[in-house]
Amino acid sequence: MPPQASAPQTQPTAPTPPVAHAEAPKPPVPPKPPKAPPARSERRERASRSEEYYDTKTTIFSALIDAIDLSQLAKMDAESARDEIRDIVNEIISLKNVVMSIAEQEDLLDDICNDVLGYGPLEPLLARDDIADIMVNGADTVYIEVSGKIEQTNVHFRDNGQLLNICQRIVSQIGRRVDESSPICDARLPDGSRVNVIVPPLAIDGPALTIRKFKKDKLTLEQMVQFGTISPEGATILEVIGRSRCNVVISGGTGSGKTTLLNCLTRYIDEDERIITCEDAAELQLQQPHTVRLETRPPNLEGEGEVTMRELVKNCLRMRPERIIVGEVRGPEAFDLLQAMNTGHDGSMGTLHANSPREALSRIEGMITMGGFNLPSRTIREMITSSIDVIVQAARLRDGSRRITHITEVIGTEGEIITLQDLFVYEIVGEDANGNISGRHRSTGIARPAFWDRARYYNEEHRLAAALDAAEVEDVEGSDSFGG
């Protein structure tokens, strides 16, 4: 297969490879060169590699594509395909008398395998466990989030064409494609990572790809205590909340750790409870044996076959659940989740996007109003108060650290207003020279939370009281700096 003729000739880099991929033997949309080829031909230094490296890679890549039988390769498993490519590349290197160090040769083999079989320049990032998010803004700009901080990497794609090919390869796994007529797509990598792709003309500077890396080993509450996300007493309170079947909403901004926290709370559910989870992309990892996992489905290319979160949650109710867990509540399913919470499915949980417990409530109200339920706002508020027990607020602070900033109870309504009661809050005390925020979790002094009776019913009241007490002591000790 010839290199793509449409690749801008001014670019001294390798030609866009034909889509030499198992699942997508035909090149998808001919990658359109951006209207004005980006003025990057000045050749920014890529990674730390020399131009010769890239030239050699281009030569070897073209020879490989000529030599290899792609349809045969498609039938092999990844490991054998890699071996096959290795053999051929080694042969080409010796035939063409290419001079390379062993290390360079290894790099080259990896690069080529990644291009042919995997996700090209993304592979090294995907292989790293310490990365939370990968954000690709066009071929030349790749950011990652590590330890809560966003940083730019020196990863580059050859051009937007290669990037688009990789996007295509990712979404083809769920039977979709991205192009001008359907430029937005959510997908998942085989390892469970969540992917969003948006391509030109909507994404103006080239395809934008966002990956939330799937963490196999989800954080536990103990680890969160180590990281300072929550204090030990706060963690015990959360444990009691999970165990005593409170209905919980976890609220927080993007990437604040909502899903991680939800996953933590589910660990305290009894083994014998029947749990049904509804998610857009399965991220939760419940330990309990009696769990049914459900996932929504986006519409197919013809716009058919969509199964919404609302449909899933409604269906859940016919599956005799004891607890319903909704990965992310963002629409009219809020109504069904509240109803479920209200009708004997105690201990149901969900996350939603909001910046404070109060805002979480108005978001829920908004979702129900927008869902066309035509209920007076007073009724919606009463419904909210009679169903939700606790709101846990997560936040990503400006230093990149994640904190649980509120454990708040929903108490009742006063007139039209929902009454909230903070049990536990995080207070920022200061910032050190490195910009790290210091603060502390403290109890607000409430000795008998509204869910006390519930905790007692599940024999958890002693632990609850002890945790609240311990947190109190801390408060008194430090009270001088806070004026009580």
The 10 Å CB-count burial string (b at 16+, else e) for 83-121 is ebbeebbeebbeeeebeeeeebeebbbebbbbbbbbbbb
Provide the minimum distance between the beta carbon of 191 and ligand ATP in the complex, in angstroms, as a whole number. 13
Asked if residue 259 binds ligand ATP (CB under 6 A), the reply is: yes
What is the closest distance, in whole angstroms, from the C-beta atom of residue 224 to ligand ATP in the complex? 5
Answer with the entry of ligand ATP, Mg ion, none that 252 interacts with (C-beta below 5 to 8 A by kind).
Answer: ligand ATP
Residue 4's binding partner among Mg ion, ligand ATP, none (Cβ under 5 to 8 angstroms by kind) is: none
Which residue is at the shortest CB distance from ligand ATP? 257
- Cα angle for residues 214, 218, 221 (degrees, 5° grid): 150
Q: Which stretch binds Mg ion (CB under 5 A): 7-15, 65-73, 86-94, 251-259?
A: 251-259
Minimum CB separation from ligand ATP for residue 220, in Å? 10
* Rounded CA separation 240/376 (Å): 34
Pairing of strands 323-326, 349-353: parallel
> Could you tell me the smallest distance in angstroms from the CB atom of residue 403 to ligand ATP?
8
Name the one range near Mg ion by CB under 5 A: 76-84, 256-264, 299-307, 369-377: 256-264
Q: Which residue has the tokens 């040769």?
A: 105
C-alpha separations of 323 from 243, 245, 273, 294, 343 in Å: 12, 9, 7, 13, 11
Q: At what angle do helices 357-370 and 377-387 cross, to 10 degrees?
A: 130
Residue numbers 239-258 binding ligand ATP by CB under 6 A = 252, 254-258
Cα separation, 405 vs 229, in Å, equals 9
C-alpha separations of 2 from 24, 61, 72, 119 in Å: 17, 11, 19, 21
**Could you tell me how many residues of this chain bind Mg ion (CB under 5 A)?**
2
What mask of x and - would describe binding to ligand ATP in positions 184 to 223, judged by CB under 6 A? ----------------------------x--x---x----
Is the four-CA dihedral 106, 108, 111, 117 of positive or negative sign? negative
Residue in 20, 64, 122, 132 binding ligand ATP, rule: CB under 6 A: 132
Q: Which of the 8 DSSP states describes residue 319?
A: G
Which region among 27-35, 255-263, 424-432, 437-445 touches Mg ion (by CB under 5 A)? Answer: 255-263
CA count, 13 A, side-chain hemisphere, 124: 12
Task: Considering the complex, state which of residue 116 and residue 241 has its C-beta at the smaller distance from ligand ATP.
Answer: 241
What end-to-end distance do the CA atoms of the chain give, in Å? 75
- What is the rounded CA–CA span in Å between residue 66 and residue 64? 5
To ligand ATP, the closest distance from the beta carbon of 132 in angstroms equals 3
232 binds, among ligand ATP, Mg ion, none (CB under 5 to 8 A by kind): none
Question: Residue 454 touches which of Mg ion, ligand ATP, none (CB < 5 to 8 A by kind)?
Answer: none
Buried b (16+ CB within 10 A) or exposed e, 20-57: bbbebeebbeebbbbeeebeeeeeeebeeeeeebbebb
Binding partner of residue 229 among ligand ATP, Mg ion, none, CB under 5 to 8 Å per kind? ligand ATP
259 binds Mg ion (CB under 5 A): yes
Among ligand ATP, Mg ion, none, residue 62 binds (CB under 5-8 Å by kind): none
Enclosing H/E stretch for 171: helix 160-172
Instruction: Give which of 16, 13, 10 is closest to 39, Cα–Cα.
Output: 10
Nearer to ligand ATP, 73 or 265 (CB): 265
Residue 215 to residue 212: CA distance in whole angstroms: 9
Least distance (Å) from ligand ATP to the CB of residue 17? Answer: 31
Q: Which residue type, as a one-letter code, is found at position 351? A: T
Q: How far is the CB of 262 from ligand ATP (least distance, A)?
A: 8
Question: Binding of Mg ion at residue 193 (CB under 5 A)?
Answer: no
Residue closer to Mg ion (CB basis): 211 or 418: 211
Measured at the CA of 265, the angle between CA 262 and CA 267, to 5 degrees, comes to 120
Q: Which stretch binds Mg ion (CB under 5 A): 171-179, 224-232, 252-260, 381-389?
A: 252-260
Distance of closest approach, residue 446 Cβ to Mg ion, in angstroms: 29
229 binds ligand ATP (CB under 6 A): yes
| Total binding residues toward ligand ATP, as defined by CB under 6 A | 16
Q: Does 402 bind ligand ATP (CB under 6 A)?
A: yes
Amino acid at 83: D
- Give contact residues for ligand ATP (rule: CB under 6 A): 132, 212, 215, 219, 224, 227, 229, 252, 254-260, 402
Can you give the binding site for Mg ion, defined by CB under 5 A?
A: 258-259
